[in-house]
Amino acid sequence: MSNDLQKQKRFDCLFCGEICVDVPIRPIDRGRPLDEATLLPVAPITLGGGGSVPNSGMAFARMGLRSAALGCVGDDVFGRFIQEKMSAAGMDVSHVVTRAELPTSATAVLGGEDGEHTFAYHGGASRAFDRHVFAAHREVFQDARFALFGYYSLMPQLEDDLPDLLAEVQAVGCQTALDAAGGGGAMQPLDRILPHLDIYVPSYGEAQQQTQCDEPRAMIERYRAYCPKGLLGVKLGARGALLQTREEEWIEVAPVQPPGPVVDTTGAGDCFYAGLIAGLAQGLAPADAGRIAAAAGACSVTGVGAVEGMVAYTQLAAMATKG
């Protein structure tokens, strides 16, 4: 499909899967057993977005690109809150499904002074995202240039069907991407999903769990055996990322200096993915898109939650140029 026809589509990216409400609780001493304290003084507790769809999708929208959500929430306060939050950020939420019999997915994010975190998580309505939800909304994929599904290992009702569904998505001219979480899961059924992906860039820990490899190049080579045509990579946190193009060119993405103190690393990987797709949607080569991704991840860690530190695409581009 020509680039001009791609740009005529309504959405630059459709974000599919995990829709969650985060309750950040910080700062706590993550090295101290909780049963040693009966009261933990923390910062004011406010609700935020969580999961692949709000984190990556709202970051993408704040960059100024066209973003839409597809997933499930409960008919409750949390469900209404997260839809309002995504809409206010500029996301189209008309394809979010309300499941009255289930609670909205929610996570208590226990954050330390170092910006790292522990999750207390209930899967809720996001676990209801399955092939029937996909089928009821399959026409929206025709209106999207990219579709990011997340998270692998946390979509039990969908993962066995993903190979066929992703093939459908690619057939209508929409490029496919997958993000992982929950420790990463296993290489099955990922081995059947990879052939139908245009982009796959998990975190180092997720890739280590999936591939049983310790070296990033070996991880990517393991994925390449199943995904001959995709852009593959591994997110390396503060060390940047390693990518490999479909031509098997290696790209080392150097980290970008955060524009402020590191406050919270929650969702930095989601923002990295949003930045990578944003750069590709803007027509950048993978190496340059990787720099946008690194800048997005660097901005994310300067605010509480994934997207509070996010800035416009033009600012990310300036950061990416400076390094």
Q: Evaluate whether residue 30 is within a structural domain.
A: no
Residue 27's pLDDT is 87
Q: Evaluate whether residue 65 is within a structural domain.
A: yes
Q: What would the pLDDT profile of 299-319 be if each residue is shown by its tens digit?
A: 999 998 889 999 999 999 999
- Residue 132 predicted with pLDDT over 70: yes
Residue 1's pLDDT is 54
Q: What number is the average pLDDT over the span 63-82?
A: 98
Q: For residue 190, count CB atoms less than 10 angstroms from its CB and return exposed for 0-12, middle for 13-18, buried for 19 or more.
A: buried
Q: What would the pLDDT profile of 155-194 be if each residue is shown by its tens digit?
A: 989 999 999 999 999 999 999 999 999 899 999 999 999 9
Q: Evaluate whether residue 272 is within a structural domain.
A: yes
- Residue 116 predicted with pLDDT over 80: no
Share of the chain above pLDDT 70, in %: 97
Of 288 and 45, more confident: 288
Q: What would the pLDDT profile of 215-248 be if each residue is shown by its tens digit?
A: 999 999 999 999 999 999 999 998 999 999 999 9
Give me the phi and psi of 17, to 5 degrees please.
125, -120
Helices (H), the chain: 3-7, 52-62, 77-89, 131-136, 162-171, 187-193, 204-211, 216-224, 268-281, 286-300, 313-322
**CB 166 within 8 Å of CB 197:** yes
Q: Evaluate whether residue 35 is within a structural domain.
A: no
Q: Evaluate whether residue 29 is within a structural domain.
A: no
Residue 64's pLDDT is 97
Q: Evaluate whether residue 267 is within a structural domain.
A: yes
Q: Evaluate whether residue 299 is within a structural domain.
A: yes
Dihedral of CA atoms 141, 317, 288, 54 in degrees, nearest 10, equals: -30
- Residue 133 predicted with pLDDT over 80: yes
Residue 36, C-beta contacts closer than 8 angstroms, at least 6 positions apart: none
Q: Evaluate whether residue 118 is within a structural domain.
A: no
Name the band, by pLDDT with cuts 50, 70 and 90, for residue 115: low
The rounded distance, in Å, linking the Cα atoms of 302 and 262 is 5
Q: What would the pLDDT profile of 14-62 be if each residue is shown by its tens digit?
A: 999 999 999 988 888 888 887 787 888 888 988 999 999 999 999 999 9
Q: What range defines the domain where residue 255 resides?
A: 3-18+52-102+126-322
Q: What number is the average pLDDT over the span 141-164?
A: 96
- Residue 4 predicted with pLDDT over 60: no
Q: Quote the mean pLDDT of the chain.
A: 94
Residue 18's pLDDT is 97
The CATH number covering residue 197 comes to: 3.40.1190.20
What is the value of pTM for the model shown?
0.93
Please give the DSSP secondary-structure letter assigned to residue 304: S
List the one residue out of 89, 55, 61, 84 whose CA is nearest residue 179. Answer: 55
Query: How many distinct structural domains can be found in the chain?
Result: 1
